[in-house]
Amino acid sequence: MLDHTPVAVMERHALRINPAKTCQPIGALYAASGLHRCLPHSHGSQGCCSYHRSHLTRHFREPVMASSSSFTEGASVFGGASNLVQALGTIFSTYGPDVVAVHTTCLSETIGDDIPSIIARAREEGAIPDGKHVIHASTPSYSGSHVTGFAAMAAGMVNYFAEEPTSSRRRKDGRTRVNIVPGFVEPSDMREVRRIAELMNLTPTVLPDTSGVLDAPATGTYEFYPKGGVTVDELRGLGRAVATVALGPQASRAAAVAVENRCYVPREILDLPIGIAATDRFVGVLRRRAAYEVPGELLDERGQLVDLMADARQHLHGKKVAIFGDPDHVVAMAEFVADLGMRPVHILTGTPGKSFEKRVGTLLAGRSPDANVRSRGDLFLLHQWMKNDPVDLLIGTSYGKHLARAEDVPFVRYGWPILDRFGHSYFPSVGYRGGLRLMEKILDALLDRRDRDAPDEEFELIL
């Protein structure tokens, strides 16, 4: 497996091998699927849309709907305006969405299509029925990554819909409104941050919200627009919140900044609430914003997580870990494994951005001084790091399975995408309960390995 990867690291300047990221449009498509009755639309060649739908479907095992401008050679030469106008007319007639969320691609960005003016033309030509919306985000595939694509579309939703506040920020029931940008996470995670906010006596608007969309039940009837997703009305009311909490700066900061700019709602930029410390920071912010004491139910969950951390620490202490994936996920996981007494030694994301390395450094605070930390890295490099400094555990997306097999290392699937296992869209990784689940996975991987490798006389019933 991966037999051609040499041990010696050669600096590469042009060749990307085994990427730890993909392109912006897929993130935009995912974000837009968290908007109620929205059809995501890819302004580019058919292949983009096809690849993105396929890949998201493989991860969520749910229908993922999106349409395409189906560029041909002519459109590529003369511009894609007429394709988009025609597409909008066809979409509203055929699929009847409330919103079409257009994201661009490398093709349409290289041509220089100006989406707002094409949308205006479509409206003039009657392709967009009254009361229906078309929003857009600029997501050229040649910058950022799928994570920044998600960020751009989340911000696009805010920019198109958020209004200046006109009514009171406090609801009649005394609950305070809060906006939460959950990050490029699972439907289960979005559901969980909502639950936590509600426990903190807040009324959250989660944007986007793919729960109820990409974890829809089997009922015998296919719903083209499932019941989930943030609504246009909720987005209009973003200005009524006391704060916008952005979970994971790379995926969520842009939307929080957009709400602040449009509605003067202050932003709180936090790490993804993965593990105990990051969840504490999240709950702490909610406590302050809600002016509401953390209820017993949540404290019990926290206490259970601390309890498990204490119970299991002998199996974790000092274990060397390699972590890769999306920057917000990796930053939070690096802190969590350090808090569990493990040593993150290789920490890598494919998404560009220097803040990643800085944030990892701050959170580890000298706890893993020789760690390799890299943004804009790839899995070829990570594999070479693992050959040079072997680890006890690999944590990352399904693309890590080949590395784990090549180096015979226990492997925990975490992040996006997970293409070869089940359950991630149903069981959260965020919050205290998510911490319990992650610990269960980490401990299972390590203890299965211990059992596998133990000689008969050391093969223990009780561990």
Partner 1 sequence: MTLEPVPAPPPDVDGPPGGSTAAGSVAAGLAVERVAEPAAPEGFDLEAALAAAAASDLSAPAEPLPLPASARRDGPALNGLIDRMVEVYPPKVARKRRRQLRVNDPESPPEIAANTRTVPGIITQRGCCYAGCKGVVLGPIPDIVHIVHGPIGCSYYSWMTRRNQVRPGPGVANYLPYCFSTDMTEDEIIFGGEKKLAEAIREAHELLHPRAIAVFSTCPVGLIGDDVHAVARKMRKELGINVFGFSCEGYKGVSQSAGHHIANNGLFQHVVGTEEPDLPAVTTPFRINVLGEYNIGGDAFEIERVLTRCGIEVVATFSGNTNYTEIATSHTANLNVVMCHRSINYLAEMMETSYGIPWIKVNFLGAGSMAKSLRKIARYFGDADLTARVEVVIADELSQISAEKDEIRARCEGKTAMLYVGGSRAHHYQELFRDLGMPTISAGYEFAHRDDYEGREVLGDIRIDADSRNIEEIEVHPDPLNYRRRRSGAELAELAEGGLRTKDYDGMMREMPAESLIVDDISHRELEVLIEELRPDVVCSGIKDRYVIEKMGVPSKQLHNYDYGGPYAGFRGAITFYREIDRLVNAEVWRFVKPPWDGEPLASALDTTA
User: 397-456: which residues touch partner 1 (CB under 8 A)?
Assistant: 402
Give CA angle at 111 (109, 117), nearest 5°.
75
Residue 73 CB, nearest approach to partner 1 (Å): 5
Q: Report the first-to-last Cα separation within the chain, whole angstroms.
A: 32
Among 32, 35, 84, 256, binds partner 1 (CB under 8 A): 84
Asked if residue 307 lies in contact with residue 248, where contact means CB atoms within 8 angstroms, the answer is no
Q: Determine the Cα–Cα distance for residues 30 and 32; give it in Å rounded to an integer.
A: 5
Residue 252 interacts with partner 1 (CB under 8 A)? no
Residue 223 interacts with partner 1 (CB under 8 A)? yes
Residue 327 interacts with partner 1 (CB under 8 A)? no
Residue 75 interacts with partner 1 (CB under 8 A)? yes
Residue 225 CB, nearest approach to partner 1 (Å): 13
Residue 154 CB, nearest approach to partner 1 (Å): 19
Backbone angles phi, psi at 413, to 5 degrees: -80, 130
- Comparing CB distances to partner 1, the nearer of 10 and 462 is 10
Q: Determine the Cα–Cα distance for residues 43 and 112; give it in Å rounded to an integer.
A: 12
Q: Determine the Cα–Cα distance for residues 64 and 30; give it in Å rounded to an integer.
A: 9
Backbone angles phi, psi at 264, to 5 degrees: 60, 30
Q: Determine the residue type at 235.
A: L
How far CA 70 is from CA of 18, 30, 91, 92, in Å, comes to 28, 19, 13, 16
Other beta carbons less than 10 A from residue 57's beta carbon: 14
Among 33, 69, 148, 349, binds partner 1 (CB under 8 A): 69
Residue 67 CB, nearest approach to partner 1 (Å): 5
Residue 310 interacts with partner 1 (CB under 8 A)? no
Residue 89 interacts with partner 1 (CB under 8 A)? yes
Among 28, 31, 65, 265, binds partner 1 (CB under 8 A): 65
Residue 175 interacts with partner 1 (CB under 8 A)? no
Task: Classify burial at 196, counting beta carbons within 10 Å of its beta carbon; exposed 0-12, middle 13-18, buried 19 or more.
Answer: buried
Among 150, 160, 184, 380, binds partner 1 (CB under 8 A): 380
Residues 96-155, interacting with partner 1 (CB under 8 A)? 105-107, 110-111, 140-143, 145
- Comparing CB distances to partner 1, the nearer of 137 and 364 is 137
Q: Please name every residue paired with 374 in a beta bridge, in sequence order, or none if there are none.
A: 348
Residue 72 interacts with partner 1 (CB under 8 A)? yes
- Comparing CB distances to partner 1, the nearer of 69 and 159 is 69
Residue 364 interacts with partner 1 (CB under 8 A)? no
Q: Determine the Cα–Cα distance for residues 373 and 188; give it in Å rounded to an integer.
A: 29
Residue 30 CB, nearest approach to partner 1 (Å): 13
Among 36, 37, 55, 289, binds partner 1 (CB under 8 A): 55
Q: Determine the Cα–Cα distance for residues 408 and 414; give it in Å rounded to an integer.
A: 18
How many Cα atoms sit within 13 Å of 378 on the Cβ side? 14
- Comparing CB distances to partner 1, the nearer of 54 and 362 is 54
Among 3, 173, 370, 457, binds partner 1 (CB under 8 A): 3
Interaction mask 203-222, partner 1, x per CB under 8 A:
-------------x-xxxxx
Residue 90 interacts with partner 1 (CB under 8 A)? yes
Q: Determine the Cα–Cα distance for residues 246 and 282; give it in Å rounded to an integer.
A: 10
Residues 176-195, interacting with partner 1 (CB under 8 A)? none
Residue 388 interacts with partner 1 (CB under 8 A)? no
Task: Classify burial at 228, counting beta carbons within 10 Å of its beta carbon; exposed 0-12, middle 13-18, buried 19 or more.
Answer: buried
Residue 463 interacts with partner 1 (CB under 8 A)? no
- Is the sign of the CA dihedral 118, 120, 124, 130 positive or negative? positive
Asked if residue 330 lies in contact with residue 397, where contact means CB atoms within 8 angstroms, the answer is no
Residue 66 interacts with partner 1 (CB under 8 A)? yes
Q: Distance of alpha carbon 191 from its chain centroid, rounded?
A: 13
Residues 11-40, interacting with partner 1 (CB under 8 A)? 12-19, 21-23, 25-26
Q: What is residue 220's three-state secondary structure?
A: coil
Among 2, 257, 294, 308, binds partner 1 (CB under 8 A): 2
Size of the site for partner 1 (CB under 8 A): 80
- Comparing CB distances to partner 1, the nearer of 26 and 337 is 26
Q: Please name every residue paired with 412 in a beta bridge, in sequence order, or none if there are none.
A: 395
- Comparing CB distances to partner 1, the nearer of 145 and 231 is 145
